[in-house]
Amino acid sequence: MTDDKDVLRDVWFGRIPTCFTLYQDEITEREAEPYYLLLPRVSYLTLVTDKVKKHFEKVMRQEDISEIWFEYEGTPLKWHYPIGLLFDLLASSSALPWNITVHFKSFPEKDLLHCPSKDVIEAHFMSCVKEADALKHKSQVINEMQKKDHKQLWMGLQNDRFDQFWAINRKLMEYPAEENGFRYIPFRIYQTTTERPFIRQLFRPVATDDQLHTLGDLLKEVCPSAVAPEDGEKKNQVRIHGIEPVLETPLQWLREHLSHPDNFLHIRIIPQPAD
Amino acid sequence: MEEDEFFGEETFQHYCAEFIKHSQKIGDGWEWRTSKDCSDGYMCKTQFQIKNRTAVSHRGTSARVQTCLPMEEALEPPLDDFEVTETTTATEVIKYEYHVLYSCSYQVPVLYFRASFLDGSPLALKDIWEGVHECYKTRLLHGPWDTITQQEHPILGQPFFVLHPCKTNEFMTPVLKNSQKFNRNVNYITSWLSMVGPAVGLNLPLSYARAAFQDEGNVDRQDSSIEPKSLEEL
């Protein structure tokens, strides 16, 4: 299964070239140069932008700096979503680099969660991992782990250490041989056309006749409007990590290979862009 | 063994409906809201509280704990939310919104809430913490996810504070087992909310507990054999 293991690495090391520009209304003592950075798809904005923050803080006075937040074309960026997901939802059809605007004032309280420290990101990340395990294993695997194992998951993500992370994460990806798969698949479906932020539901990887459920089965069940009728044109693009998986792909495989480090499958559906 | 649907979404909605029926009777302000894109929904209530009130001395932690169990509430007089023993120079009115949603991942209800001043500016987490009663603080500080965190409301997409649901099953199971043992009708939502609500300033009038017993012929409030064991875990 060496091919499949490569998928794990490809997912982990995916990067998005990004250009950070300071918002024009921020008060600066001198001109602020844009800052370029390769962002890891699987990480979180506030975890990987310390250098960006320092770069812009150098040209500002302390009293003009409060909590940093990011915005793309007027939309405040939710730091608690994986970076790759944000890009795929908002900017995938634009040319690279991804242009993000940096703010230090007027934090949008109604749209964004606060992120006062790295502990908050860790708490959020671990909360997702825990929730995913509740769906997969009734929380048995995560609860049996020691605190140091939880810490290793987090440190692996924070320090971009694939092996360190997967040494623990593989336990969360295991399932008993007698069952064909996990209890339920942890997933979230994001559509830009609906009000609610995402869809989440209980869905099993295996049907009652022991057939493996596919991505297409999931979409048909959970958001049928997104799937094209058999004779119709494809209305929507379904993407995970920026790629469009074949709808016949078994969910179990997607689950094991295309999940984010938080153990969720983040699936994004946007209308097919006009050619 | 299919315990998976032990507390499914339909059961959740059923108990919420019963809860709201009683709320309407007593004018407690709870209502149901359906999500626009789906059949799911949530229960919500808005209430106003006065901040900067002087801390009222309670009759010790154990008495406070006992008032959290619906069955035990009859033994203790209800505590008054708005009790102010001294007037302070600056009192502010805070608007609290409480939402009860269903988590399909944990298969339990979850309490979301947010607070703001009347001008719309939101309260920070540290201000929320000030409103948490002492007896809950130690327990809530135990782990990074056994506590109040800010999260995105799954239906509205806006920042709310949440009491993490991963321990709910732990403290609800003894309550429900006991109710089965003594053949009591228990509204899951009423029991659960009466336990987690007070931690964030939400109290339930006594009559909710009585409403759950309405179908029973024999209401025995003096039954103290139900141990508040579940609350030590709270």
pLDDT in tens, A134-186: 999 989 999 999 999 999 999 999 999 999 999 999 999 987 655 556 689 99
Does A3 lie at the interface with B, CB-CB under 8 angstroms? no
Q: What is the ipTM of this complex?
A: 0.88
Q: What would the pLDDT profile of A120-134 be if each residue is shown by its tens digit?
A: 999 999 999 999 999
Q: What would the pLDDT profile of A203-220 be if each residue is shown by its tens digit?
A: 998 888 888 899 999 999
Nearest Cα neighbor of A38 from A160, A125, A165, A169 is A160
What residues of chain B have any CB closer than 8 angstroms to a CB in chain A? 4, 35-38, 104-106, 121-122, 124-125, 144-145, 149-152, 154-159, 164, 166
When pLDDT is averaged across residues B135-142 and rounded to a whole number, the result is 64
pLDDT value of position A47:
97
CB contact under 8 A, A109 and B122: yes
CB contact under 8 A, A200 and B154: yes
Residue B166 falls in the annotated catalytic set = yes
Shortest CA gap B141–chain A (Å): 13
pLDDT value of position A220:
92
To which residue do tokens 């979180």 refer? A44
Q: How far apart are CA A122 and CA A127, in angstroms?
A: 8
Which band of pLDDT confidence, cut at 50, 70 and 90, is reported for residue A106?
very high
CB contact under 8 A, B145 and A197: no
Interface test with B, best of A202, A204, A208, A266 (most B CBs within 10 A): A202
Q: By mean pLDDT, which of A147-156, A254-263, B18-27, B77-86 is the weakest?
A: B77-86
Q: How far apart are CA A205 and CA A181, in angstroms?
A: 6
pLDDT value of position B67:
31
Q: Is the pLDDT of residue B5 over 60?
A: no
Token code pair at residue A19: 């250009």
Q: Give the 3-state DSSP-derived string for B133-199, with helices as H, strands as E and coil as C.
A: CHHHHHHHCCCCCCCEEEEECCCCCCEEEEECHHHHHHHHHHHHHHHHHCCCCCCHHHHHHHHHHHH
Q: Give the 3-state DSSP-derived string for B104-130, with helices as H, strands as E and coil as C.
A: CCCCEEEEEEEEEECCCCECCHHHHHH
In three-state secondary structure terms, A205 is coil
Q: What would the pLDDT profile of A77-105 be if each residue is shown by its tens digit?
A: 999 999 999 999 999 889 999 999 999 99
Which band of pLDDT confidence, cut at 50, 70 and 90, is reported for residue B69?
very low
pTM of the model: 0.83
In three-state secondary structure terms, A273 is coil
Q: Is the pLDDT of residue B148 over 90?
A: no
Stronger pLDDT, B18 or B56, i.e. the higher one? B18
Interface test with A, best of B145, B155, B163 (most A CBs within 10 A): B145
pLDDT value of position A267:
95
CB contact under 8 A, A113 and B156: no
Nearest chain B residue to A193, by CA: B37
Q: Is the pLDDT of residue A245 over 90?
A: yes
When pLDDT is averaged across residues B39-61 and rounded to a whole number, the result is 69
CA distances from B98 to A134, B163, B203 (A): 25, 11, 11
CB contact under 8 A, B104 and A201: yes
Token code pair at residue B222: 């003096």
Nearest Cα neighbor of A166 from A256, A67, A41 is A256
Q: Is the pLDDT of residue B57 over 90?
A: no
Chain A hits for B119, CB-CB cut-off 8 Å, are none
